[in-house]
Structure 1
Amino acid sequence: MIFGRVKPLDAILAAAEGKSLHRTLGAFQLTLFGIGSVIGTGIFVLTAAGAQKAGPGLMLAFAIAGAICIVAALCYAEIAAMIPVAGSAYTYTYSTMGELLAWTVGWALVLEYAVAASAVSVGWSGYFTGTILNQFLGIQLPVWLSAGPLALGGVAGGFINLPAVVIALLVTWLLIIGTSESAKVNAILVGIKVVALTAFIFLTYGKIDTAQFSPFLPAGVFGGFGTGVGAVGAAATIFFAYVGFDAVSTAAEETKNPQRNVPIGLIGSLLFCTVFYILVAAGAIGTIGGQPIMGPGGIPFPAGSEELARQCAMPQHAQALVCSNEALAHVLRTIGFGKIGNMLGIAAFVALPSVILVLLFGQTRIFFVMSRDGLLPNALSKVHPKWKTPHVVTAITGAAVAFAAAFLPVGALADIANAGTLYAFMMVAIAVLILRKKEGHRPRSFRTPAVWFVAPATIVGCIFLFFNLPSAAMLVLVIWGAIGLVVYYLYGYRTSHVGHGRVEVLTDDAIDGITH
């Protein structure tokens, strides 16, 4: 039965009741927290890939993705406040729809975190080679060492993205030996990113040429099923730029007057980030242009494809926005702000590794909770005797992340990560509706307003974006899911603790004790 083996909500909530969280966050603080959680990787890394899919329509794409994130965030807020334990969408699904569907969500989250970390590694590599090596040290890393065989490197002939491999393995090593992210350091890095992007907006504003926005939708609104182009196709890709808002949802238990302040924090931060992203996109496209390089039939070449790399090697496209691995720094250099462009490149170079660390850390949490539920081997959650970290699963994850970063382009990686994310968000929205029906009497510190509209809107929006991803990204999730089902029925189904009548709930405190 699909809805069999449901993990008892009473057991999960009993563990949560042991944690007393002090309500200190107001609406303004929560909004700032949300802005810090969201702004980062996507806007630095995916601007070029998004422009290749939609041209100036990238601005509309940011609005579409932001709107879907807002309704998804409201669903997350209710369920995170009600079930404030580790495991995210995996735990929520386990408590409402049963073990099989929970497994599929956890398996998708494993893919999401790992592939997202690979995407950030590739994005960091672009700023490292373009700003640090080229601009400051005068070193031109050979293309075969700085781009994968299918990566958009501006020049065809890539073999392996060595800097991306190095940063992925370095962060993995730091996690294994127990180095965790400092909240103060992270706050500084968030400040650097916001200041850098604000400076970018002001510097480009006075140099915008409105002629650059025509045609506004060169690939149309809908590029077609499985093509991943057009404004909606770009929205499906740059959805990656919003991932992180669920961190705001999990703060509901520590928020004063959550019914009022959580929606303000969620919607306020996402609206701010959406407007911020649109302004950055307008500055980039309005100054140097952002029209996609078209292939046969007036359809843009796929971002990260070999053919696009060949086109970018041609002199007439050498300065194109869609051909840059460090889009925002490239824009500032092109319009005469070379030094500031280099500073922005340094900001990305410094800040992005912290994102890789958070993604890898989140992945180990999901793996650990699934292992403790008996669905994965205990060896995966084995703790190192000296460093007290789950070194086995961290090493395996880091190796997989490094391998993907070595050979795949950032746009394709973001699309694959988004496929897993959209599936998880959809399941959270379904779980909210089920809990309203089955557990309507349970206390909720936050209730999603107009849930019978918001939750279905989230489900439809996630499905809508999923089917506007490139067909390859959709296929990867299907294949990954099929592999997961084989693993589940060969191992997890037989060893599940719930299946054997053993219910154990692991709180955040317990996990933090072994993952730091």
Structure 2
Amino acid sequence: MLFGRTKPLDAVLATAEKKGLHRTLGAFQLTMLGIGAVIGTGIFVLTSEAAQKAGPGMLLSFVVAGFVCAVAALCYSELASMVPVSGSAYTYTYTVVGELLAWMVGWALILEYAVGASAVAVGWSNHAVGLLNGLGLHFPSALGNADALNAKVLLAFGAAPSPDLTTALQVGGWINIPAVLIVGVVTWLLVIGTTESARVNAVLVLIKIAALTAFIALTIPVMNAENFTPFTPTGGAGVFGAAASIFFAYVGFDAVSTAAEETKNPQRNVPIGLIGSLFICTLFYLLVASGAIGAIGAQPVTGADGTVLAPGSAEIAGRCAAIVASGTIEPLVCSKEALVHVLQVINWPVIGRLVGLAAVLALPSVVLMMMFGQTRVFFTMARDGLLPERLSAVHPKFRTPHVVTVVTGIGAAIAAAFLPVGKLADYSNSGTLFAFLMVAVSVMVLRRTDPNRPRPFRTPGVYIIAPLSILGCLGLYFSLPLTAILVLPGWGLVGLLIYFGYSRSRSHVGRGIIDVPEMDSDAPPVPVPPMPGAPTPGIRQA
């Protein structure tokens, strides 16, 4: 049967039993964990992208994206509390609805983690280059972005020449070297096994929150109500389009879900941690966005024909360069370090540079955690036989999955070198939304097929919350730009070809091998010789 291969839940749960984690986390600790995981990427990187799509209406976009995250998180929490092991949504799907859909989820998670890491790397590059330029150390524009290359590609594929594309060719760059370098450094750190400690992470969280608090304190007093008019210049489609992009700013909330097994009274504390962290982050986002809009405005930039230009495109890069060259103050939607730019415009340049420094310090940890997540999903798929087992090789000295880490690093570096941050974030969101949709489906299926299974956390009103999550994910997905919408089925088609051409015949579950994952997922499975009369071999702990 096409959907008949499922990984036995009892075998997967053996991992949780071996972990033996103590329930020590309360509602406050979970809320702080969620805030630290969420704040740091999108608000520093995507504010200008959202403004170009929705104008001041991006305030509504933050609310929409936050709501979809909240209902998705409640679904995620039930499975995370039942199956608290590596592999994330891939493992959940494998145990509930089968191998084929699990493969598709794992394949989509590449878009979430690896492409997401590329997006954060480009965002870091924008702030690092801006910081160097602010200090008088001018970084070559030809090596700080790929705007000229993207313009060249558009023209090569038949785009009509325009003044905006011509300007992009003249002043844009050809490759984003800083983004490649930060991906390389993070890849090296993951190979040698260096991870950030809880203390370092706590300091970075404080730096991020302090930077955003300073921004709010300086911009709210100088808000101008006229800057909020018109509030939705691109209409409802623009609001939902911006929400689909801003969704990237909330990725990371699942850190709360996956801590369910370590939580005291998870039925009470997990929803408090989830909703509490999402509420606080949304409030922060709304205040930051309100300060930016009110201080300098956030109306979209239009082309020569009056149409709103696509954020991240070569056309808007050329238009923005022309606006700056004319002596006009750079619009918010044109800035690649939006919060720094706002503070500079309202005469707080030193604080602006400190906010930029905060982003430079904090964003590499986000790149690290996204790439870490990707390598572990790849590793789990390789250990299940769905990817070449060479990818599950462990370094003899560092005891890390070095092969899959290097492969992930190369892919992330290539994407970061040539694509703008907004496009990367949209591609990442398409994979994330598909994974979250499958989690919501899995929750409802498992309620029907295994209703008596112990659930440390139960999604409240599951037959209301899960459909809302599915509808929300679909709504945001179809609000993405057309290229991002097409990326997911195109990427999925490649995945299906690999699955039926390679993975299905080599699957451990398909061959009757039951895999019990290790606690830390750092070693490949070891076959056990079959007992006399046993029909198939098994797998024991490495």
Normalised TM-score (structure 2): 0.91
User: Is 1:242 the counterpart of 2:253 in the alignment?
Assistant: no
SS at match of 2:480: coil
- Deviation readout 1:235-277 (Å, 9 max, x if unpaired): 0001000000001001111111111111111111101111110
Structure with greater Cα Rg: 2
Could you list the per-position Cα deviations for residues 315-368 of structure 1 after superposition, in whole angstroms to 9, with x for gaps in the alignment?
265511111111101111110111000000000001101111111111110000
Q: Name the structure 2 match of 1:125.
A: 125
Deviations 1:381-426 (A, max 9, x none): 1112222221111111111111111110000000000000000000
The count of residues paired between Structure 1 and Structure 2 equals 505
- 2:430 is matched with 419
Return the match for 1:147 from 139, 142, 145.
145
Show structure 2 runs of 5+ residues with no match: 152-163, 526-542
Q: Which residue of 2 aligns with 1:227?
A: none
**Does residue 1:463 correspond to 2:486, yes or no?**
no
Q: Could you tell me whether the CA contact under 8 Å between 2:61 and 2:243 is conserved in 1?
A: yes
Inter-partner Cα distance in structure 2 for 1:177 and 1:305: 37
**Would you say 1:22 and 2:22 are equivalent positions?**
yes
- Give the conservation status (yes or no) of the 8 Å contact 1:16–1:507: no
- Distance in structure 2 (CA, Å) of the matches to 1:106 and 1:197: 34
- Deviation, 1:212, is 0.3
Q: Percent identity?
A: 61
**1:374–1:492: 8 Å Cα contact kept in structure 2?**
yes
Measured against aligned partners, the alpha-carbon deviations of 1:45-77 in whole angstroms (never above 9, x if no partner) come to 000111011110111100000000000000011
Q: 1:295 — aligned with what?
A: 303
Counterpart Cα distance in 2 of 1:140 and 1:234: 32
Please give the secondary structure, in 2, of the residue aligned with 1:179: coil
Report if the CA contact (8 A) 1:78-1:448 is conserved: yes
For the 8 Å contact 1:26–1:256, the answer to whether it is kept is yes
Report what 2:226 is aligned to: 211
Equivalent position to 2:337, from 326, 329, 335: 326
Deviations 1:200-254 (A, max 9, x none): 00110111001000000000011xxxxxxx0100000010000000010011111
The residue that corresponds to 1:134 in the other structure is 133
Contact 2:130 2:337 in 1 (8 A): yes
Tell me if 1:309 matches 2:304: no
Q: Given the superposition, is the C-alpha separation of residues 513 and 378 from structure 1 closer, same or farther in structure 2, using an over 3 Å criterion? A: closer
What residue number does 1:78 align with?
78
1:160 aligned residue: 175
Other-structure match for 1:114 = 114
Aligned to 1:428: 439
> Would the aligned equivalents of 2:394 and 2:523 in 1 still touch at CA under 8 Å?
no
TM alignment of 1:89-108, pairs within 5 A: 89-108=89-108
The residue that corresponds to 2:198 in the other structure is 183
User: Within 2, Cα distance between the matches of 1:358 and 1:16?
Assistant: 22
- Does the 8 Å contact 2:18/2:519 carry over to 1? no
Q: Using a 3 Å threshold, how does the CA distance of structure 1 residues 317 and 500 change in structure 2: closer, same or farther?
A: farther
Query: Is the contact between residue 65 and residue 247 of structure 2 (CA under 8 Å) also seen in structure 1?
Result: yes
In 2, the alpha carbon distance for the partners of 1:72 and 1:112 equals 15
Q: Does 1:282 align with 2:290?
A: yes
Equivalent residue letter for 2:142 = W
Q: Distance in 2 between matches of 1:311 and 1:361?
A: 37
Q: Which amino acid aligns with 1:385?
A: P
Give, in angstroms, the shift of residue 31 of structure 1.
Answer: 1.0
Distance 2:328 2:386 in 1: 51
The 10-residue stretch of structure 1 (252-261 or 312-321) with the greater mean CA deviation from structure 2: 312-321
Contact 1:89/1:428, CA 8 A, preserved across alignment: yes
Counterpart selection for 1:194 from 182, 191, 209: 209
Give 1:512 deviation, angstroms.
Answer: 8.9
2:129 and 2:139 in contact (8 A); partners too: yes
1:504 aligns with 2:504: no
Partners of 1:97 and 1:171 in 2: CA distance: 34
What is the RMSD of the two structures over their aligned residues, measured on CA atoms? 1.8
DSSP 3-state at the match of 1:150 = helix
In structure 2, which of residues 187, 198, 206 is the aligned counterpart of residue 172 of structure 1?
Answer: 187
Aligned equivalent of 1:226: none
**Retained in 2: the 8 A contact 1:426–1:458?**
yes
Task: Give, in angstroms, the shift of residue 15 of structure 1.
Answer: 2.9
**Aligned position for 2:370:** 359
Counterpart selection for 2:268 from 246, 260, 273: 260
Structure 1 distance, partners of 2:519, 2:295, is: 47
Given that residues 19 and 519 in structure 2 are in contact (C-alpha distance below 8 angstroms), is that contact kept between their aligned partners in structure 1?
A: no
Provide the rounded CA distance (Å) in 2 between the counterparts of 1:475 and 1:122.
22
Aligned to 2:259: 251
SS at match of 1:78: helix
- 2:407 aligns with 396
User: How far off is 1:296 after superposition?
Assistant: 6.7
Question: Counterparts of 2:97 and 2:515 in 1: how far apart (Å)?
Answer: 18
Distance in 1 separating the partners of 2:310 and 2:418: 16
Query: Which residue of the partner structure matches residue 225 of structure 1?
Result: none
Instruction: Specify the code of the residue in structure 2 equivalent to 1:163.
Output: P
Letter in 2 for 1:273: C
Residues 19, 238 of structure 1: alpha-carbon distance in 2 compared, 3 angstrom cutoff: same
Distance 1:490 1:351 in 2: 41
The alignment status of 1:349 with 2:360, answered yes or no, reads: yes
Is the CA contact 2:263–2:270 (under 8 Å) kept in the aligned structure 1? Answer: yes
Matching residue of 2:69: 69
User: Does the CA contact (< 8 Å) of 2:122 and 2:176 recur in 1?
Assistant: yes
Q: Which residue of 1 aligns with 2:161?
A: none
Deviates more, 1:20-29 or 1:38-47: 20-29
Cα distance, 1:439 vs structure 2: 0.8
Q: Measure the CA separation in 2 of the matches of 1:96 and 1:380.
A: 25
Name the CA distance, whole Å, in 1 between partners of 2:394 and 2:437: 33
AA aligned to 1:20 is G
d(CA) in 2 for partners of 1:512 and 1:30?
Answer: 30
Moved more, 30-39 or 380-389: 380-389
Say if 2:17 is the partner of 1:6: no
**Offset, 1:37:** 1.0
Equivalent-residue separation in structure 1 for 2:187 and 2:261 (angstroms): 31
TM-score under structure 1 length normalisation: 0.95
- Tell me how far apart the structure 1 counterparts of residues 293 and 306 of structure 2 sit (CA, whole Å): 20
| Structure 1 unmatched ranges of 5 or more | 223-229
Q: Report the Cα offset of residue 10 of structure 1.
A: 1.5
Per-residue deviation at 1:2? 3.5
